[in-house]
Amino acid sequence: MSSVPARSEVDEEYTWDLESIYATDDDWEVAYEAVTERIDELESYDGRVVDDAETLLEVLQLRDEIMREVSTVAAYARMRRDEDTTNQHYQALTARAQSLAADASSAASFIDPEIQEVTREEFDEMAAEEPDLETYDHYVDDVLRMKPHTRSAEVEELLADLGEVTGATGDVYTMLSNADMSFPAVEDDDGEAVEITQSNFTNLLKRPDRDVRRRVYEGYFDEWESMRNTVATAYKNSVKADVKLAQARNYDTARAAALDGPNVPVEVYDTLVESVHDNLETLHRHADLKREALGVDELRMWDLYMPLTGDEGPDVDYEQASEYVVEAVEPLGEAYQSHVAEGLDSRWVDVYENEGKQSGAYSSGTYDTQPFILMNYQDDISSMYTLAHELGHSMHSELTKDEQPFVYSGYDIFVAEVASTVNEALLTDHLLETVDDPEFRKHVLNEFLERVRSTLFRQTLFAEFEHEAHRLEEEGEPLTADRLDELYGDLKATYYEPAAVDDRIAREWMRIPHFYRAFYVYQYATGISAALAIVDGILENGDSAAADYRTFLRQGSREYPLELLRTAGVDMSTAEPIDRALSTYGDRLEEMEALLE
């Protein structure tokens, strides 16, 4: 029986270097205590934030210093926990760090309401008196914009205090799905028992033996079925928390509240859904082509992840993947390319799956640390693309913090998913241009099609599900497990009309952790649309377009997302980038249809 290694069995070179943050847990404790004491310094400014320009600058700088330290303390604890989610010591450190972050947010909660007591003209006068305040110009603009949805200092403090509680359902779900749930082992086509995990599930659905895929699919979703009431309760309360918090801030809907944070009009969300629905025929063509390529009478849900080439695809080990990715980003400039190469040699990446490790992949790190990338690398083309994706996030962070002060060092997910997907698109172009092996090229082309299917279509399906689930809660309809299954199953049937949609796939909503961060996933779909447009520009116009893109990356959150993307030459207030991405998908599908004839 195959097994997943223990953390201690993974070679150090394939683990991230968290010791570069704190050499020991004792050093973390020292940092934790130090920043805990600093939080109290904010209290002396309560009630006098805008007394004068000097005081305003002092409190903003102090807040930023504290938040910088808190973010580093929290990131270390969370990443240590994610190395092995069953480790109770790091579960405890993470819980303490979350409480610390909530305390810091609560302690600083009076700042924005007090800034909202001044007008834009009054702030400009203060900035003229204290020029260093100009750093905070966009931040103050954003604070003043949110005045209709900001409550009194007392209510803001209460809402900040409740942050740890309102986010608890996501923590429960994380522990349930990664630490407590145990999936069965299935016998593969060689007669060997293979353990199903969160990380290898979709990879197992690419096995050439259709009966193996069916058993994996059924075993996996049957385990989720045994947890359906627990997961439904968790998600129901997560949705309820979203709705209540939106109401507390005077929003009509939870969706409006979520999109107003980054100042994205809800029309962008609706345009995405409408454009995708207008192009579902192309997705249906993809499904039909997959049925034909697999030689089956009916496409089943356990067939969806199978490549159009009908087999598992070539192995791509981590070292080869790293080389390909570094080569692929050459159009972004020598400095960008060198930085990526250096990062891969400096233990940015925690590469392989181990027992208890957080599933999936992400890019982390803080303003004062190197980037850190969690992966569960599976020696395949998909994992190579995931590496390119997460490196896009990491480089976005690196270029931003090199150029921007801490207050603008973050960036909204709306633009973050552009940086990651630009790397993916460049990788596709590089491989199709440089690799001669026709079978490998087929798999690269298939990967592109699958990435668009799973990112543009699948995430839009998720976005519809989230929107409808929140709408039902807002209208007072109970979100039971059966109702959520019905909602999700109907959407799956619409998107995959040529395939057979069974009862098990209606439970798929249970396995999506992003749903506990509401109205997040649509940005993957808008992100891939913007990214494909940007890459088209870079490949057509060369250095000038690449320079515009690097300027976009360096801006962090100094402007609102739609304005930032205009810097890179993309207008996401229109359907044009989405329609262009869907057209590219259709063109690539035609190429694959011709190859498979």
Write out the catalytic residue numbers.
390
What is the CB-side half-sphere exposure of residue 415 using CA atoms within 13 A?
Answer: 31
Q: How far apart are CA 86 and CA 89, in angstroms?
A: 9
Q: How far apart are CA 270 and CA 272, in angstroms?
A: 5
CA-to-CA dists, residue 36 to 59, 95, 98, 366, angstroms: 17, 14, 12, 18
Nearest to 242 by CA among 256, 251, 254: 254
Query: How big is the CA angle at 594 (ends 589 and 597), to the nearest 5 degrees?
Result: 125
Q: Supply the DSSP symbol for 194.
A: E
Write the DSSP symbol of residue 357: P
Given strand 372-374, what is the order of strands in its sheet?
Answer: 349-350, 372-374, 362-364
Tokens of 525: 């779909």
Burial class (CB in 10 A: 0-12, 13-18, 19+), 299: buried
The string of DSSP codes covering 301-352 is GGGTTS-TTSS------HHHHHHHHHHHTGGG-HHHHHHHHHHHTTT-EE-S
Residue 183 per-residue DSSP state = P
